[in-house]
Chain A
Amino acid sequence: MAQRDVGLILMRQLASGLAVPTLIADESGDLLFFNEPAELVLGRRFDEMGYLHGGEFARSFALRDEHGDPLPEDQVPLRVAMRELRAVHRRVVFRGFDGVDRKVEITAFPLLGAGGHLTGVVAMFWERKQ
């Protein structure tokens, strides 16, 4: 496997030291990493995950908007951040790998390399208590 961009390497290292649930995908949206706090939110340990293509990963959570309506794939925060190269913040409901529904706010933002090119995208989860 080719070496990852240094921005992604440093982001993963930062994420692994954060208490905020954080997920990192590559420039195609394919899952690269999520940290231990995110394991609690997503309902599965990262090391138990197989390779998941971006679309597959989003679909596996049955994402809904805050009214409970299904969220189209092109409105998934990670997808929007990647497509429009901007930060996105959105309330969603999703079903974790453990079958538990969770209400979260997601902040997603693109990672741009030294030349301004997209190297990946980051999503942070803020669990809503009610």
Chain B
Amino acid sequence: MTDGQAADDRSMRVSLWGTRGSIASAGPDTVAYGGNTSCVEVEGRDGTIVILDAGTGIRRVGDTYKEPRRIDILLTHLHMDHIQGLGFFAPFFEKDFEVHVWGPPSTTEGLRARLSRYLSPPLFPVRLRDVAARLELHDVPREPFEVGGLEIDGDVVIHPGQTVGYRISDGAATVAYLPDHEPALGANGMPTDPAWTSGHDLAAGADLLIHDAQYTADEYEERVGWGHSRISDAVGLAQMAGAKRLVTFHHDPAHDDHELDRMVEDARAMATDGLEILPGREGAVFRA
């Protein structure tokens, strides 16, 4: 499925493989938006591939790579719904693949040690050190870095534990990815001042902003500090930052397809200045 824009082979292709938050939620009520947890694949114009987060959606992505290649996985943080698919990512177990995993820095433990808490017994039968692929782990640097033809900027955002968001540009278009983000926690009555709004610079002028939109306004009142956004804050940030299109993401596991459709309609009613609201459905493909 595409977003209806003219497909341009020279533009970035952004594929949603998992859009659900917190826990995988497959079932008859979640067919349209999907049940897999966070995973987005970005393919640059030069064929560079980066995968944003390794929720359960990454299992199907892995199955699409038939030939050995380099793949970069950019983790926003290490909550289970963002790493649970790592152990089921087929290229991990192919010796001719080169997999680079990037994650938020920590002053206490390296990324390998933190990921190994999950990828080791008793939680998982295969240890991280036993994967067949050539595996390299990286802390996300403070400065922008390049992967193939993509420039990537990772910056810390408001979410419990060390969490980054990403801004990916190919020189012509920009995609911003902030799947778990609670900017309202750092601002009274946002949107207010861009300089004091978490995530602003990552989202500024983005052609496509994929952003946490987990809660309705009523739900958020009971969940302040849990690290997620009410959909109105996602719209507010997108407009403040001048993003062109907002993709709703990290859907609450309790929300069925009808509820999510209602939330998207609410967001569309709030949006002004030409901001386009797009439902973040598993299987959707966007061009940026």
* Chain A interface residues (CB < 8 Å from chain B): 1-7, 9-10, 12-13, 16, 112-117
CA A16 to CA B189, docked complex, whole Å: 13
A113 nearest CB neighbor, chain B only = B156
Interface residues as binary, B191-205 with A (CB distance below 8 Å gives 1, 0 otherwise)? 000111111110000
* Chain B interface residues (CB < 8 Å from chain A): 104-107, 139, 142, 155-158, 162, 185-188, 194-201
Q: CB distance A2 to B158 under 8 Å?
A: no
**What are 20 A-B pairs at a CB distance below 8 A?**
A2-B201, A3-B194, A3-B197, A3-B198, A3-B200, A4-B195, A6-B155, A6-B156, A9-B158, A9-B186, A9-B196, A9-B198, A12-B186, A12-B196, A114-B104, A114-B105, A114-B156, A115-B105, A115-B139, A116-B107
Q: CB distance B186 to A6 under 8 Å?
A: yes
CA A84 to CA B86, docked complex, whole Å: 41
- Between A and B, how many residue pairs show CB distances below 8 Å? 52
- Chain B contacts of A4 at CB under 8 A? 195-196
Q: CB distance A117 to B142 under 8 Å?
A: yes
A6-B107 in contact given A1-B194, A114-B162 (Cβ < 8 Å): no
B202 nearest CB neighbor, chain A only = A3
Query: What 7 A-B pairs have minimum CB-CB distances, sorted nearest first?
Result: A9-B186, A3-B201, A1-B195, A115-B105, A3-B200, A6-B156, A116-B107
B106 nearest CB neighbor, chain A only = A114
Q: CB distance A114 to B194 under 8 Å?
A: no
Selected from B106, B185, B188, B195, the residue in CB contact (under 8 A) with A3 is B195
